[in-house]
Amino acid sequence: MNNQIAEHQDRLEEADTAPAGFRVGTARLLRSWRTAGILIPFLILFAVLSITSQPFLHTSNLINILDQQAATLCIAAAGTLVLVAGGIDLSVGATYGLSTVVAGEIAAHHSPALAIAAAVLVGLTVGLINGLIVTVFRINPLITTLAMSFVIGGAAVKVTSGNLIVLSANSGFYKFANAQFLTVPSAVWMTILFVVVLGLLLSRTTFGRYIVASGGNAEAARLAGVRVNLIKVVAFTLSGGAAGLGGVIDISRLLSAQAGSGGNALAFTVLAGIVVGGTSIAGGEGSVWRTGIGVLFIALIGNGFNLLGVDPLYQQIVLGVILLLAVGLDAWARQRRR
C-alpha cells in the first residue's frame, strides 16, 4: 500500500504541476479527437451540403469528386507514412509533374504499360534519392525535398522541351484511369485500393509499427533494434512512388500534360489534407484513413462552395483557418501531454 502511494507520488512528481485526473481526461479527449476527429466535421459538412445543394448528393457528383481527388489521395496516403516517420516530403508536386510528362512522352509513341511503369519508376527513384539524402547525409527532410522539387521541376521541363503534351482518347492509355467498373472509373478503384493497402501497412504491420517508432523517438527506436534509416528510406520511396502513380492516373484521366503541373500547390494541398486528418507534423502519430477523410474534407469545401456559388476567395480563407485549427489542436494536445 505504502509502495503504491510512493509510486504514485513518483509519477506525480514527474508530472510536474498538472493534476492526474486532468491529465487522464485530456488524454482521453486527445484519443477521441485523433480517432474520430476529422470525421465529425466531415459528416457535418456532408450533411449540410446534402441539404443545401440539390446536385451535391448525386452519384455522379460524388464519383466526380473522388475521381478528381484520386492523385491527391494516393500521394497524401503515402505522405502520411513519411510524416509519421518523422519526415516531410515537399517534392511530391514536382515528382507528380515529372511523372505526368514522362508518362505522356512515352505513351505517345510506345505501349501504355511501358508509360505507366516508367512513370511509377521515376517516382520511386526520386523518393529513394530523397530518402538516401535525408538518412545518409542527414540533411533536414524539409530542405532536401524542397531542393529536390526544383531539380525535378527542371528535369520535367527538359523532358518536354517546354511543350504541352496531348494524347489521343482512343489509346489504351486512356483506359488506364477511365475504364468503368460498376459505373465507377478505374482511377477511383485504384485509389481506394492504394489507400486501403497503405492504411493497413501503417496500422497492422510490423513496418507500420517501425514507422511510428522512428517518428516518435528515433533514438529509442534505434536502440530497440529498429532500422530507423531503412524505414525512413522506404517511407520516402513509397511517397515518391505514390506521386508517380498519381501523375499517371491524372494524365490518363486528362490526356494532357505540361511540365510544372502539380508543383508546389499540390504538395501543400497534400500536406494540408494530412494535417487536417489529424496526423501530427511532429511525427510518431497519424493514420492513413483519416488523411483520406482530411483530403476529402478539403475537396468537399471546394465542391460545396462551387455548387453554392460562393466566391472561391472564401474557400481559401476557410481552408487556411481549418488548417490552423488542426495544427493548433495538435500542438495544444502535445503540450498538455508533456
SS3 180: strand
Does position 20 bind another protein by CB under 8 A?
yes
Does position 5 bind another protein by CB under 8 A?
yes
Of 199 and 304, the one with the shorter C-beta distance to another protein is: 199
* Packing angle, helices 20-36 and 312-337, rounded to 10: 140
Of 143 and 220, the one with the shorter C-beta distance to another protein is: 220
The interface with another protein within residues 318-337 (CB under 8 A) comprises: 337
At residue 110, φ and ψ (nearest 5 deg) are -120, -170
- HSE-up of 109 (CA within 13 Å, CB side)? 5
Grid cell for residue 110: 510506345
Report how far residue 220's alpha carbon sits from residue 254's, in angstroms, rounded to the nearest whole number. Answer: 46
Interior/surface letters 238-257, b for 16+ CB within 10 angstroms, e for the rest: bbbbbbbbbbbbbbbbebeb
Distance in Å, CB of 261 to another protein, minimum: 35
Grid cell for residue 195: 489507400
Of 68 and 217, the one with the shorter C-beta distance to another protein is: 217
CB-based contacts of 100: which residues, under 8 Å, 6+ apart?
119, 247, 248, 250, 251, 257, 258, 261, 262
Burial of 175 (0-12, 13-18, 19+ CB in 10 A): middle
Distance in Å, CB of 129 to another protein, minimum: 23
Residue 257's H or E segment, with its range, is strand 256-257
Cβ(123)–Cβ(245) under 8 Å? Answer: yes
Distance in Å, CB of 167 to another protein, minimum: 38
Does position 9 bind another protein by CB under 8 A?
yes
CA dihedral over 57, 250, 71, 151, signed as positive or negative: negative
Q: Of residues 206, 311, 313, 335, which one binds another protein by CB under 8 A?
A: 206
Does position 28 bind another protein by CB under 8 A?
no
- Number of residues this chain uses to bind another protein (CB under 8 A): 45
Stretch that binds another protein, among 3-11, 73-81, 106-114, 174-182 (CB under 8 A): 3-11
Does position 57 bind another protein by CB under 8 A?
no
Does position 25 bind another protein by CB under 8 A?
no
Stretch that binds another protein, among 154-162, 199-207, 259-267, 314-322 (CB under 8 A): 199-207
Distance in Å, CB of 24 to another protein, minimum: 7
Grid cell for residue 293: 477523410
Distance in Å, CB of 227 to another protein, minimum: 5
Distance in Å, CB of 12 to another protein, minimum: 4
Interior/surface letters 42-63, b for 16+ CB within 10 angstroms, e for the rest: beeebeebeeebeebeeeeeee
- Stretch 272-311: interaction string toward another protein, x if CB under 8 A: ------------xx--------------------------
CA dihedral over 109, 191, 238, 99, signed as positive or negative: positive
Does position 15 bind another protein by CB under 8 A?
yes
The interface with another protein within residues 215-254 (CB under 8 A) comprises: 216-217, 219-227
Of 84 and 272, the one with the shorter C-beta distance to another protein is: 84
Binding residues for another protein (CB under 8 A): 2-17, 19-24, 27, 204-207, 209-210, 212-213, 216-217, 219-227, 284-285, 337
